[in-house]
Chain A
């Protein structure tokens, strides 16, 4: 074993607590960030998987009347990565040369797509053979595995396709279901197609259990002659463009339907949540490394004499460098292993508890390891840790060994401490976030609000990492001021603590800054959570608190039910939840006469009249924000007959139309008559309803009324609005528990920083402590000194962090508002403004316990004898 290896190994073994805490600090930081990223990866994967069983495109659009070149317009739209026209229908398939058409034909599902768009669309994969040629000069098809097996065909064979026997087509026309007038159906004709490829059993090849055929759209028109083929297009979203932006572009000329299982995590509020979790992970990594860098800088000052001795004994700079490098490599390497494994275990554990980066309560089975990014994150943490640990050595090489051997400040302790921390700040605030956001990109488009939010986060990091370096005197003075009362209370312990704080150039400010970083994050997060709760409360006050939601009313008629409720005191109105369609947002039909009893329609006859006319809609606040609609805008609504109807936005209000199933706040309300005419829905049919009551009315009257009307009926759901509000508020608290968990881990790292700092201070001051003991100072007095110092660090860090966090909260809230489209009120973090500084003090005091134990084990005799 070489001299450097031997010395490095011995140094690590002989300083077990320092080695352990250094490894733990880096490992915890890496584990948190790897865990967060792995959790997010599995969240999106797990919630998307159900949708893959029966594959659908991300977005299906229908052009409005008057759009002459829908495909061209879609292709030019920002956010569209691929587009194809699509016709799908049943088809009968048999082999050419079969004896009888009926005997050997099998049923399948036909998809006619634009062959030239197949590569961009990503809808299928060919496992054997080739894809369809473009342009489609010959009749070619792709066939699903199961269908190919049923027919016993392979590429090169010829199949005959024919449309199935057709029932007369019907459509909803102005509220009536009518047979569609069309030319007499011609005799079904078979067309021959050559099999050019087999579809892999995924995406489109998985539809209809693999009994699919895909042909070019040109042949669909020939095959289904006489049938009405409404133009439909499938769109693949460009992931680099926000979904909201694409929706806004589409809304002008198209109606669309989103496949939510494909677009998991892509909605604005989901993106905000996921990006927030990612930022929290970055914070943990930065703090873990910050703590270690601090430890390294103090350790260097302690080891200057060792470096000088080795130099005096003839060790070259390369040899001395190798010793430090080997120690750093060992610590970083072990931390990487533990951090990586720990991160995966952390993510797995959270998933098993139902915690995801899209809230809690989701059950995700399976676990996928994102090897590439997880290893890259680990490597980034290790690289920065190594860079930081090598820097002190580079500085030490330029110090005067002669001065160090004489016991002078050959290192220029204050100079190197400042220089080192500035270097560390550059690594932590510049290089590490840069690396991080390359490995873990922000979710969604890098639009102004998101970039601004990220920059604010990094600026905040910079403030707390750099401030103790730039103005250490200020920090020391402030903490010295906090320590002054302690001198009066405890003459010896307080005085010693105060002096130690004043003399410590970076140790106290850095420890306090680490605590402040966590404190500010907690306060900012709680402020943001309170703001979200405030938003829910404001919305609930408008939308749900005076309502009772029931479900399972099948068979009861609207007028009958309304008449029954009207007999009970406190009844205001009845909303039907059964008149609904997706156009692509949720559209609900309500009786205008009911709307006149509450909400904006009560006080605005013109609004009511507009709704009654069937040419206007009231949109929810969230719909208005998400799609950028305002009063006077036109909504394009695709109806059941394939047409598009225009309605004007007459008002923006949440007073009408919300139903907890589905829990959807993006919706519009039109008259029930509109729904009847556009979708042939029966306004009397009722399964879901919302009963509007006077404030203060006991929700039990609803059950009483229902029981009287239909004693045998048991509703499947009974939810008073106030109960729903409580559930929503609990959901927020539960969903944000992930942040609480990450910040708690980060708080542990900050406490580790305090512990490390105190431990090193104890070892530095061994001689002083030995003298104190020799002079008769008791153990508890020395413990008191450490606790006083910890109290000041905790108080200073906690107060500073709380102050910064309170200032940060409005910034976070505005960023979230911009990202999510929510109208968030400005509220403070409430009780947390007290709990956080108190928690910071307790954490700091707890972190001081181990150093006190070590100090009490120091041999005072050996301490005073040391040179």
Chain B
């Protein structure tokens, strides 16, 4: 199956108060179309940085990133933005909904960015909201929603454009157990029913059980011997892997 994401020898350095630090060291990753990959690692291990590099929001210090068949390094900033727009749906830990827009407008935002009038896609947006359990909340503002609802709006926003890849940065990090479970089920459905690829980073073992493949990010690189393959990976296996890696 053709890869949606292909990363080779990826390095990312960060210059801080104590000098240059390597966030990612020679990371290799391949995510197939329609595959659900979860990357686990402790806080500060570079998980979010990896997603930023894969989406083209940030540039690597060295190495290559191919997104949907195009090498991001050779593209101009605007071309990278377009590639991201066409290929990636983003789900953030802190939702990042625009506070001045309603639920309907937030979900329709990617369509508007792409030049489509959201009114024309109104029914599609409403149907999606219904599907995600947000029926009747179209005119609410983000501050009127619960955390779980906000994250579902964020997922709806990521799905509405039909991009082949969902990047999810700790999507359940700010949610309750129940809300988090609902979100993970939605993401799994996106993979199963819509054929989207999902690249999810988390430190929550429960979230990883939804993935087809679980990888572990240690010291800026993926632990080669600890890849777990699913579907339906048991949480005990994940805990064992974490223990083995002393994460």
Binding site for B on A (CB under 8 A): 1-3, 6-7, 10-11, 13-15, 305-306, 308-319, 400-402, 405-407, 859, 862, 865-867
Contacts and interface: CB of A to CB of B under 8 A. Distances in A.
A7 B93 CA distance: 23
B78 A316 contact: yes
12 contacts: A3-B115, A10-B105, A308-B96, A309-B96, A311-B57, A313-B157, A314-B84, A316-B81, A318-B78, A405-B92, A862-B143, A867-B94
Interface of B: 48-49, 52, 55, 57-58, 77-78, 81-82, 84-86, 88, 90, 92-96, 98-101, 105, 109-110, 112-115, 117, 143, 147, 157, 174
- Which among B77, B81, B114 has the greatest number of chain A C-beta atoms within 10 A? B81
Contacts of B100: 7, 10-11, 13-15
Given A10-B105, A317-B78, A400-B58, A407 B90 contact: no
Contacts of A11: 100
B147 A865 contact: yes
B84 A312 contact: yes
A402 B52 contact: yes
Given A3-B112, A402-B58, A867 B90 contact: no
- Which among B52, B84, B98, B99 has the greatest number of chain A C-beta atoms within 10 A? B98
A6 B105 CA distance: 10
Given A10-B101, A402-B58, A862-B143, A314 B85 contact: yes
Given A309-B96, A402-B49, A402-B57, A315 B147 contact: no
Contacts of B115: 2-3
B138 to A, nearest CB: 15
Nearest to A863: B143
Nearest to B93: A867
B78 A14 contact: no
Contacts of B88: 314
B147 A317 contact: no
Contacts of B58: 400-402
B15 to A, nearest CB: 12
A317 B77 contact: yes
Given A14-B100, A314-B84, A402-B52, A319 B113 contact: yes
Contacts of A3: 109, 112-113, 115
A860 to B, nearest CB: 13
Contacts of A306: 98
Nearest to B174: A867
Contacts of A312: 55, 57, 84, 90, 92, 96
Contact of A313 (B48, B52, B90, B94): B90
B241 to A, nearest CB: 26
A310 B113 contact: yes
A862 B100 CA distance: 15
Contact of B94 (A316, A317, A407): A407
B110 A313 contact: yes
Contacts of B174: 867
A interface, over-half SS: helix
Nearest to B101: A10
A60 to B, nearest CB: 70
B73 to A, nearest CB: 16
A311 B96 contact: no
A310 B85 CA distance: 10
A693 to B, nearest CB: 77
7 closest Cβ pairs, A-B complex: A314-B85, A867-B94, A3-B112, A14-B100, A402-B52, A402-B58, A309-B96
Contacts of A311: 57, 81
A5 to B, nearest CB: 10
A862 B150 CA distance: 13
Given A310-B113, A405-B92, 16 more contacts: A2-B112, A3-B115, A6-B112, A7-B101, A10-B100, A11-B100, A305-B96, A311-B57, A311-B81, A312-B84, A313-B90, A313-B110, A314-B86, A316-B81, A402-B58, A406-B48
B143 to A, nearest CB: 5
A865 B96 CA distance: 13
A401 B88 CA distance: 16
Nearest to B78: A316
Nearest to A859: B143
B246 to A, nearest CB: 25
B77 A309 contact: no
Contacts of A13: 100
Nearest to B163: A314
A401 B52 CA distance: 9
Contacts of A315: 81, 85, 113
A867 B95 contact: yes
A405 B96 contact: yes
A395 to B, nearest CB: 16
B85 to A, nearest CB: 2
A308 B28 CA distance: 27
Contacts of B95: 867
A312 to B, nearest CB: 5
A401 B57 contact: yes
Contacts of A313: 85, 90, 109-110, 113, 157
Nearest to A3: B112
Contacts of B98: 7, 306, 309
Given A3-B112, A6-B112, A865-B147, A314 B94 contact: no
A367 to B, nearest CB: 43
A312 B93 CA distance: 13
A319 B112 CA distance: 11
A401 B105 CA distance: 22
Contacts of A865: 147
A859 B143 CA distance: 10
Contacts of B113: 3, 310, 313-315, 319
Nearest to B158: A313
A801 B49 CA distance: 49
- Which among B82, B86, B109, B114 has the greatest number of chain A C-beta atoms within 10 A? B109
A2 B77 CA distance: 22
A476 B218 CA distance: 44
Contacts of A6: 105, 112
Nearest to B116: A3
- Which among A10, A314, A405, A867 has the greatest number of chain B C-beta atoms within 10 A? A314
Contacts of B77: 317
A317 B80 CA distance: 11
Nearest to A5: B112
Contacts of B101: 7, 10
A313 B82 CA distance: 10
A402 B117 CA distance: 28
- Which among A13, A308, A315 has the greatest number of chain B C-beta atoms within 10 A? A315
A639 to B, nearest CB: 82
Given A405-B92, A865-B147, A316 B82 contact: yes
Contacts of A401: 52, 57-58
A314 B96 contact: no
Contacts of A314: 81-82, 84-86, 88, 110, 113-114
B166 to A, nearest CB: 13
B247 to A, nearest CB: 20
A46 to B, nearest CB: 49
Contacts of B93: 867
Contacts of B84: 312, 314
A316 B86 CA distance: 12
